[in-house]
Chain A
Amino acid sequence: MKTKKKKKVFVEGPISPEFIANSIAKHQTKTTIGAHDIFLGQVRADIIDEKTVAFIDYSTYQEMAEDKLDEIREATFEKFDLTCMHIYHSLGKVAAGEICLFVFVSAKRRRVVFDAITHIVEAIKKDVPIFGKEVFEEEGHVWKENQFEG
């Protein structure tokens, strides 16, 4: 059996707009691609019990998370005819307004990237053990729990 090296997903701190721009630029040499789709998760300054979220401190159960992300990656490649796929998620502090998740998929045509990106983002939210401590501007914190829309 072929052993594959796990791809690096976790980055310390927020994902910068420059990093995202560079990722797009790197794909300009791949001229079989006709469509990209990008999902960016951004930290919201939610107000909970009259306190405002200043930042989320992300942590993970890393080995399991990386295994799960590998499974998601493989299943997505099997299901959708993609040319490439990149997933990055922050660990540590990410302030309100900053980017914590960057998913980038590319294919020959548009339809497949729309479907693939939804599939990947939903799977990350549901199946990958990533935890988020929402720390308030005022004082204290709560633990975030992903919501799933109908």
Chain B
Amino acid sequence: MIAEMADCLEENFSSTEATKVDDLVAIVTAKYPSMANLSFKVALNNRLAQSSDQLGERDEIALLPPFAGG
């Protein structure tokens, strides 16, 4: 859903631009304004993240749309 909207699967961001999960989400939603209306969770290195979590080099962040398993 999100990949469809951004028309890409993965993207790299510099850790100097974003030091916290919150900052990164702000950058991403500014780049892709249509995402602002979406409900999504953020995972940091395969665990659900808090908005205040610190980001480091090589961290993997995933924006996860609503789950639909089952």
> With A67-B46, A131-B1 in contact, do A61 and B64 touch (Cβ < 8 Å)?
yes
From A67, A130, A133, A143, contact of B69 by CB (8 A): A130
Judge if A124 is at the interface, Cβ distance under 8 Å.
yes
Specify which chain B residues have a CB less than 8 angstroms from the CB of A101 in the assembled complex.
Answer: 69-70
Specify which chain B residues have a CB less than 8 angstroms from the CB of A132 in the assembled complex.
Answer: 68-69
Distance to closest chain A CB from B5 (angstroms): 10
Taken together as a complex, chains A and B put the C-alpha atoms of A101 and B10 apart, in Å, by: 28
> With A61-B62, A67-B46 in contact, do A145 and B70 touch (Cβ < 8 Å)?
no
Distance to closest chain B CB from A7 (angstroms): 16
Judge if A13 is at the interface, Cβ distance under 8 Å.
no
Classify chain A's interface size.
20 to 34
On whether the beta carbons of B67 and A146 are closer than 8 Å, the reply is yes
From B47, B64, B70, contact of A146 by CB (8 A): B70
On whether the beta carbons of B47 and A145 are closer than 8 Å, the reply is no
Most buried by A among B47, B65, B69: B69
Judge if A86 is at the interface, Cβ distance under 8 Å.
no
On whether the beta carbons of B69 and A124 are closer than 8 Å, the reply is yes
Residue-wise interface mask of A (43-60) relative to B, using a CB-CB cutoff of 8 A (1 in contact, 0 not): 000000000000010101
Residues of A within 8 A of B (CB): 41, 56, 58, 60-61, 63-64, 67, 89, 100-101, 121, 124-133, 143-146
